[in-house]
Chain A
Amino acid sequence: MIENTYRILVVDDEPEIRRFLRASLKSHQHEVVEADSGMGAISQLREHHPDLIILDLGLPDIDGVEVTRRVRAWSQVPIVILSVRSREVDKIEALNAGADDYLTKPFGVGELLARVRVVMRRVGNTGTKPIYRVSDLLVDCDRRKVTLAGKEIDLTPTEFDLIRILIENAGKVVTQRQLIHRVWGAAYEDDSRLLRVNISNLRRKIEPNPNQPCYIMTELGIGYRLKDD
């Protein structure tokens, strides 16, 4: 399979990080544009119109979260966040502000490339993918039908809404708030109980071993990610 190649904007104030990202991305035939600050990122974005941004959160001038917010004001270009672990809250904030995925530093290049692939696959594919199939799990969104290894599974409307939203973003992380907001509405945003109970029920129905789930993965403290391959 010939991989697609993209123009990628790498935003990080650390030259060494930019150096190895540039090397790795170029070796996969991507074109690399660089910026070392938040303002620099925005001007590079206007000038070069990259297909994807890899954005560090800790920037010297404006915060990565703020950069995300400003970019989202006029552009839907996919954003993958780079952050160190201690900035969990920032990660959620950036995701809620519109970032598409995140990676915790230190990270492997393989992981980064996989994230880039997942994110780019979603681009231009905003509508519901009618059929989702991973190993034994098959979800037909149009017909609201879920089967596990050929056996039909009965889902409540809420559970089905949840899996539909996860399927839309398969492979990407979806924050708790985003899920609650879309299933129950903005009024419930601060109460994650319903979400947890429903995810737990959903897993019990579709996961072969709910103790070690293989379809709906939990990103601790952030949200959920549906397996995608």
Chain B
Amino acid sequence: MAETIHRPDPDELLARLKDEEQRQARGKLKIFLGYVAGVGKTFAMLEAAHQRREEGLDVVIGYIETHGRKETEALVAGLEVLPRREVAYRGTVMTDMDLDAVLARRPKLVLVDELAHSNAPGLRHPKRYQDVEELLEAGIDVYTTINIQHLESLKDVVQQITNVTIRETVPDRIIDEAYEIELVDLPTDELLSRLKEGKVYIPDQAMQALEKFFRKGNLTALRELSLRRAAERVDNQMVDYMHSQSIPGPWPAGDRIMVCLSSHPMGERLVRVGRRLADDLKGEWYVVFVETPGHLHMPAQNRLRMQQNLRLAEELGARVVSITSESVAESVIDFAHQHNITKIVAGKPLRPRWFEILRGTVIDQIIRNSGRIDVYVVSEGTEIPPKELTKFIPGALAPHKPLSRYIASMFLVMGVTLLGHPLRNILDPTNLVMLYLIAVIVSSVFLGRGPSILASFVSVLAFDFFFIDPLLTFTVYDTQYIVTFIGLLVVGLIISNSAALLHDQVDALRLKGQQSQALNDLSRELTAAISLEQVLQTVIRHVNAMFHREAVILLPENDRLLVRAATPGFSINESELAVADWAFKHGKEAGRGTTTLPAAAIRYIPLVTARETVGVIGNKPQDPQVLLSSDQRILMEGVVNLAAIAIERASFAEKAAQTEMLRNTEKLQTALLNSISHELRTPLATVTGVLSSLEESEHGKPEHRLDQATRLDLIRSATRQADRLNHLVENLLDMTRLEAGAMQLNLEPTDFQDLIGATIHQMSPEVCDRSLNVEIAPDLPLVPVDAVLIAQVLENLLDNACKYSPPQSPITISARVNQDQIEVAVQDCGVGIPAADLERVFDKFYRVQRQETITGTGLGLSICKGIIEAHGGRIWASERAEKGVTISFAIPVHFKGLP
């Protein structure tokens, strides 16, 4: 029989390859795992480091603690030790690894002792393992040490064994993802004797606590834990290997574990149990939190605990899912079916028996509907402080409702009683019950659950007291009324609960509605915002309104983050800027409320789009105690996503506009060069030509001399050309002055009749030799203008009129007042301007395309436009009905200078 060849699934193989690649790009982490201090982890690590160095690797020590032991120090001596970073904290100076120094030094391998260490406040990360992660990300290999009790998932086991609280923990994934683990083991007896010899360093203040710790029983248990953990790891590697080599084996059935989390204090334990179960079964595990409308009233303390538990779950490697639903049990079962969950872990809080009978427990519902799924119920232990317990249970009775509502409900019942009293002779007592039901319904709808439950109870008592014989006592003769009482109470309670539930749902819906409305508004406003500046201001304003938080947006410019917009009066300092920078470079949240640089005052969220990280948004609550609820966090995520996309779009638009402007400038420069070089050279050529021919004539033989008439003619032509050159240079200078904004208006009350006359007078006959019709309305007011500049406008207009109209055709200049504006027009009977070009003729270097060879730079009209606009006026061209063109300008009669 042929042997079956098991081929690995190609997808799986690819995934493994990718995994391998990623691991290669990342630095490799080797962990020296011990079960307790003193087993020789640091020593083993140093020895290994020496070996690597002998192999030619670049090895440095990032941080090491020798505790004054000679053998260890001797090993340190041969290696490069990077200086530590000193942090002043509350009067003492603490030293820690200088992460940036290591990153800058970029060794192949760095030794970082004590992975579970907590960094001094103010450093980038609160925990050393986060430093190590950053080193690994940077492609640097790391050797580190850790004791088994610092593993997050084993924390409570160790606590149970040793009764010592472990504060510093490292997420299990760090160990799981480590490239290699070396178990450093030492038999417990040997360790104890080393301890007695003083070879194990224990700080004085911890002596007492540690004496308890170093008992043989404890040590043996811890040793077992660490051996088991290492074995598990080897087992995993074996399985991996078998997978990759297509060796079929007894795979554990693909168990999927689901932990149902609530805000209850035992949540933390549930998460740890889930992790251990997942480890043992080698299954995937989920942590699910079902948010019900009731959670809206969750006290801040529970909310905080909830968030901590979810974060813990994430650290322990769970997939964390948050579901919004009314019924916990239903959605848990739904989720379990959808995700092929095989085992559900849920907690059973201690509650009074009556509570369970009355409301049923979620656990029971889950078990009833679980079908083939195993349900693990973890009961509440005694380790939960009773104080917290009492706090939790009354939570159901909504103690946070203001007292006034309870009083109002009592008044309601009292009112009904007073109303019912005169009616008691007309109505049966059982019908009076209906009145009380009204009171209960009213209070449940308007006052909430608690007051309405109170109303139900008080109603029963009042009904008995005032309407049932014997009156004014709680005694009942007729036992049938007991049924009435129970009926009234039960109906009252059910109504209370349903109405309150409805209320809560409405609230939840309203909140969700408000949130989506807010997002919708933001999105609409962002769509309308065109410039980057508008986008930023819109985002800032909305963050402020939606979260009551001050916000700041930082965008990169020349590889540096710069504050581009902020809530008025909100500024950030250098160190905050560094936090923002970290968030930007790593594309992860940093600062307040995160695990990176939590000492910062502001929380920075990177603005990430599909393409890149476009910037960072920082936000800070107006009240420093307020944290974002999970709803708000989701909303914030939505805002941040919208903002990122809008900012990316706006910066694209800005870049496009800049490119367009550059291109236009280039076009302009080319046009300028073409036009100017032609316009400058032509007259210069004439002048040079005339001068050289005169010179030639002087030198040459008498028969080659030019006669006097020719000479005069040449000289006149050269003078004309020089004039033209002068005119051009003046235009260029004016253009430059206009562009530079250096055009200073010397406003003087000006008589336009005088101005027009003087302009005509000073124009050289070579430029314009026409007879001009001057039509000036009588009694023109004096208008404040810069006479010299306006004369120049007129000169340019007249010059154009002469150039573009046939010789001897009339040119008309007119001036009149039209609604507080003085309007001056120059009309010719020339070729005119095509309708499409009427506006464009005022653009710089724009010249109407024509057959004729009329010279010009296309500057004249744009200078006119500049000057007229500087006078607060406007200039325009219009076609004349018969032939030719009219160029007019209008200037306010009471112009007082532009603001």
Residues of chain A touching chain B, judged by Cβ–Cβ distance below 8 Å, are 85-86, 88-89, 106, 108, 192-193, 196-197, 199-200, 203, 210-213, 217-221
Determine if B754 and A218 form an interchain contact, defined as CB atoms under 8 angstroms apart.
yes
A210 proximity list for chain B (CB < 8 A): 753, 757
B754 touches A200 (CB 8 A): yes
- Contact between chains at A196 and B749 (CB < 8 Å): yes
A211 and B788 contacting across the interface, CB-CB below 8 Å: no
Kindly identify which residue among B722, B757, B787 contacts A106, using a CB–CB cutoff of 8 Å: B722
Q: For residue A191, which residue of chain B has the nearest CB?
A: B749
B329-337, B343-351, B690-698, B759-767 - the one binding chain A? B759-767
Residues of A within 8 A of B758 (CB): 217-220
Inter-subunit contact A212/B757 (CB<8 Å): yes
- In the complex, B782 has a CB within 8 A of chain A: yes
Chain B 723-754 interface 0/1 with A at a Cβ cutoff of 8 Å (1 = within): 00010001001000000000000101111011
21 residue pairs A–B, Cβ–Cβ below 8 Å: A86-B733, A88-B746, A106-B722, A106-B726, A108-B719, A192-B748, A196-B754, A197-B782, A200-B751, A200-B753, A210-B757, A211-B756, A211-B776, A212-B760, A212-B774, A213-B757, A213-B761, A218-B757, A220-B762, A220-B788, A221-B787
- Contact (Cβ within 8 A) B774 A211: yes
Q: Which residue of B lies closest to A203 (CB)?
A: B754
Q: What is the chain B residue whose CB lies nearest that of A196?
A: B751
Q: A206 to nearest B CB, angstroms?
A: 14
Which of the residues A89, A108, A192, A220 comes within 8 Å of B755, measured between beta carbons? A220
Kindly state the separation between the CA atoms of A182 and B761 in the bound complex, as whole angstroms. 27
Residues of B within 8 A of A220 (CB): 755, 758-759, 762, 787-788, 791
CB of A66, distance to nearest CB on chain B (Å)? 21
- Of all A-B residue pairs in the complex, the 8 with the closest CB atoms, nearest first, are A218-B758, A221-B788, A211-B774, A220-B787, A196-B751, A220-B791, A193-B749, A212-B757
In whole angstroms, what is the CA distance A221 to B788 when docked? Answer: 6
A85 touches B730 (CB 8 A): yes
User: How many residues from B make CB contacts under 8 Å with A?
Assistant: 27
Residue of B nearest to A108 (CB): B719
List chain B residues, Cβ under 8 A from A219.
758
Within 8 A of A (CB), among B761-802: 761-762, 774, 776, 782, 786-788, 791
A212-B757, A221-B787 known, 9 other contacts, Cβ within 8 Å: A86-B733, A88-B746, A200-B751, A211-B757, A217-B761, A218-B754, A220-B758, A220-B762, A221-B786
Contact call B754/A199, Cβ cutoff below 8 A: yes
User: Could you tell me if A88 and B788 are in contact, using CB atoms closer than 8 angstroms?
Assistant: yes
Partner of A192, one of B749, B753, B756: B749
Residues A89 and B746 in contact, CB atoms below 8 Å apart: yes
- Best-buried of B730, B756, B757, B786 by chain A (most CB within 10 Å): B757
Q: Which residues of A contact B750 (CB under 8 A)?
A: 196
Nearest B residue to A88 via CB reads B788
Chain B residues whose CB sits within 8 angstroms of the CB of A212 once the complex forms:
757, 760-761, 774
CA distance in complex: A89, B791 (Å)? 16
- Which chain A positions have C-beta within 8 A of B751? 196-197, 199-200
- When chains A and B are docked, how far (Å) is the Cα of A213 from the Cα of B753? 10
CA–CA, A218 to B752, complex, Å? 12
Shortest A197–chain B CB gap in Å is 7
In Å, the complex CA distance between A210 and B755 comes to: 11
Nearest CB of A to B826, in Å: 14
CA A86 to CA B730, docked complex, whole Å: 9
Q: Most A CB atoms within 10 A — which of B749, B754, B755, B761?
A: B754
Q: Note all chain A residues with C-beta closer than 8 A to B776.
A: 211
Contact B748 A211 (CB under 8 A): no
Neighbouring B residues of A106 by C-beta, 8 Å: 722, 726
Shortest CB-to-CB span from A199 to chain B, Å, is 7
Residue in A closest to B734 when the chains form the complex, CB atoms: A86
A217 to B776 Cα, complex, angstroms? 18
Given contacts A196-B751, A211-B757, contact A221 B762 (CB under 8 A): no
Residues of B within 8 A of A199 (CB): 751, 754
> For residues 372 through 391 of chain B, which have their beta carbon under 8 Å from a beta carbon of chain A?
none
Shortest Cβ distance from A106 into chain B, in angstroms?
6
Q: Which residues of A contact B755 (CB under 8 A)?
A: 218, 220
Smallest beta-carbon distance A124→chain B, Å:
31
Query: Nearest chain A CB to B753's CB is how many angstroms away?
Result: 6
Most buried by A among B722, B748, B751, B755: B751
B760 contacts across to A, CB distance below 8 A? 212
Contacts of B786 on A, CB cut-off 8 Å?
221
In the bound complex, CA of A76 to CA of B748 (Å): 31
A218 to B787, CA, bound (A): 11
Smallest CB separation, A158 vs chain B (Å): 16
Question: Which residue of A is nearest B737, CB measured?
Answer: A86
Q: How far is the CA of A106 from the CA of B788 in the complex (A)?
A: 17
> Whole-angstrom distance between the alpha carbons of A197 and B753 in the complex?
11
Q: Which residue of A lies closest to B722 (CB)?
A: A106
Docked pose: A210 CA to B757 CA in angstroms: 8
Tell me the bound Cα distance from A196 to B748 in angstroms: 10
- A219–B755 CA distance with the chains assembled, in angstroms: 9
B778: min CB distance to chain A, Å:
10
Complex contact B746–A193 (CB within 8 A): no
Complex interface: chain B residues within 8 A of A86 (CB):
733
List residues 210-259 of chain B with CB under 8 A from any CB of chain A. none
Closest to B725 in A: A106
Residue on A with the closest CB to B759?
A220
A193 to B783, CA, bound (A): 10
Shortest CB distance A218–B (Å): 4
Complex formed: what's the CA distance from A212 to B758 in Å?
Answer: 7
User: Measured between alpha carbons, how far is A137 from B756 in the docked complex, in Å?
Assistant: 23
Question: B748 — nearest CB in chain A belongs to which residue?
Answer: A192
> B786's closest neighbor in chain A, by CB?
A221
